[in-house]
A and B are shown apart, each in its own frame.
Chain A
Amino acid sequence: MTAQEINEILKAQFGDAVLEGKLENVPDPFVKVQPERILEIAAFVRSDERLQFDYLMCLSGVDYKGKLGVTYHLYSMVHRHKFVLKVEVPTETPNIPSVESVWKTADWHEREAFDLYGINFTGHPDLRRILLPYDWEGYPLRKDYQTPEYYNGMKVPY
């Protein structure tokens, strides 16, 4: 199924929740969707017979300076097609519903995005740091991140 057809199915189902996207002349066609409805959309694209996106390839956090984003790379093992969903939230209130209940693999990816970007995935069963120490302060992959001078009494920049 082409990106246009997938986009039309999403538009027909969710209407205004599907925002603008780029479907042509890009390496991976994508649409942006409203962050508060991502869980609903995820559950739909996974179960709908025409789409059946049962494989979440990758979930990445991105800092767009002022906004934080999450990119979902989807793949269907049944139909062998791909699609990309993107959401954006303001950095001050980075709340995005967790899709862990739809794709179990999102569990660790979301923990990683929380760890490095401070995105709060609401409804995640176990949202804690995964790569950094549990008592680390700040979110290092944010563009305005300042490396702390000390961590537990140890000098950090060396």
Chain B
Amino acid sequence: MTETTETIKTSTGRVLRTEEMVVNMGPQHPSTHGVLRLEVVLDGEIVVDVIPHMGYLHRCFEKHCEHMTNYQQVVPYVDRMDYVAAMTNEFAYVVAAEKLLKIEVPERVHYIRIIMSELQRIASHLIAIGTFGIDMGAFTPFLYYFRDREKILELFEMTCGARLLYNYIWIGGLSHDLPPGFIEKTKEFCKDFKTTLKEVNDLLNYNEIFIKRTANVGVLPKDLAINYACSGPMLRGSGVNFDLRRDDPYTMYDKFEWDVIVGKGEMGAVGDVWDRNMVRQREMWESLRIIEQAIASLPEGDVQKAIPKRIRPVPGDAYGRVEGPRGELGFYIVAEDSVTPYRIKARAPAFVNLSVINEISKGAMLADLVAIIGSIDIVLGEVDR
């Protein structure tokens, strides 16, 4: 760390000394969204350096997986990584495992997985934008969004009995088929939710104060985003037109029509905090489009037909990835001739996205650092695993 000491003389001849100061933000700070500790080096109010310290929520997820008696038993563990988007975690793990085991699942399973994963994306973005609004001093959107998120959780609850940690998507299939009434309720939700989206869009995203707080803050240039392997809204906010659902399609995403949302720098520079937030906001519309199409063409079939009785893969390894709400969620599975996974590594998008924080917050004000953390949308359960 460089210590710069300057001496300034006041008009009365008194000597003022200025020097850098280290401030600890977290682990119990409301705007770090969990137990993250940032060691912030400040020059007055300007951020000179940010050194993140994490691991407060490390639960040895990868070590636990090596001690399972079955590949299927890993699913409840991956739920607990990113606890606000558990469906996507299961989805990613299952995509990797099915790639390793070369399992083909029925079309109906693909469709239901996509519906669940898009509902989960909406639920996760609702938290991201809602809490980000609170960080910026807007409390009302949070209440609107949590009201509607509750409806999604009800849909999940009626499907598998759990509201947050589902254990729903299994290797080769699903734990339950859709319950009676699910389709109607989802259709109703899609219809009602559009009203909320419009309301909050006017209330939050085009609010003058909100724009002043977020435009031109924490700008992440395109090449830096790729070099840091940022993904999801973080990457697209920087103007990179890339979405795994379209560019590396898994399951049946190539059957649906929707658009990839990219940040355009409408309120300031491309890749600022406003852009990242807006990508999330607009992505929810696209998710609704996918859900509506999937529901309209949902095929019939047995969702448990392809579930293997006993899983013993050929030795080898596979890396599977999906587009989670936070970005590229990947699982790297190494298998030996055994029923137990030899090694599972989770490539957590929040972990990778957070690593760029030092680069984009240099020179920002301390108050803007709160905006930057909020816009990265970290979930510490996933960062620390």
Contacts and interface: CB of A to CB of B under 8 A. Distances in A.
Contacts of B356: 104
B182 interface: no
A34 interface: no
Contact of A103 (B227, B242, B385): B227
Interface stretch (B206-214, B268-276, B316-324): B316-324
A28 B227 CA distance: 22
Contacts of A77: 226, 240, 242
A73 B330 CA distance: 11
A58 B60 contact: no
Interface string B50-69: 00001100101011001000
Q: How large is the interface on B (under 10, 10 to 19, 20 to 34, 35 or more residues)?
A: 35 or more
A19 interface: no
A105 B316 CA distance: 26
B62 A108 contact: no
Given A131-B55, A140-B60, A57 B343 contact: no
Contacts of B319: 27-28, 57-58, 73, 84
Nearest to B242: A77
A57 B227 CA distance: 10
A73 B334 CA distance: 13
A54 interface: yes
B360 to A, nearest CB: 12
Interface centre among A26, A28, A116 (most CB of B within 10 A): A28
Nearest to A30: B317
Interface of B is mostly: mixed
A107 interface: yes
B332 A130 contact: no
B351 A108 contact: yes
Given A57-B330, A73-B319, A131 B54 contact: yes
Contacts of B332: 58, 60, 71, 73
Contacts, number: 80
Given A27-B100, A57-B347, A77-B240, A62 B334 contact: yes
Contact of A55 (B226, B343, B345): B226
Nearest to A129: B55
Interface in A16-59: 26-28, 54-58
B352 interface: yes
Interface string B345-364: 10100011001100000000
Interface string A51-79: 00011111011110000000101000100
A133 B55 contact: yes
Given A27-B100, A71-B332, A104-B355, 18 more contacts: A57-B330, A60-B343, A60-B347, A61-B345, A62-B343, A63-B343, A71-B317, A73-B319, A73-B330, A73-B332, A103-B229, A105-B228, A105-B355, A108-B355, A131-B54, A132-B58, A141-B62, A141-B63
19 contacts: A28-B318, A54-B226, A56-B229, A57-B229, A57-B330, A57-B347, A71-B317, A73-B330, A73-B332, A103-B227, A104-B224, A104-B356, A105-B227, A108-B351, A108-B352, A116-B62, A131-B55, A132-B58, A141-B63
Interface of B: 54-55, 58, 60, 62-63, 66, 99-100, 224, 226-229, 240, 242, 247-248, 316-319, 321, 328, 330, 332, 334, 343, 345, 347, 351-352, 355-356, 384-385
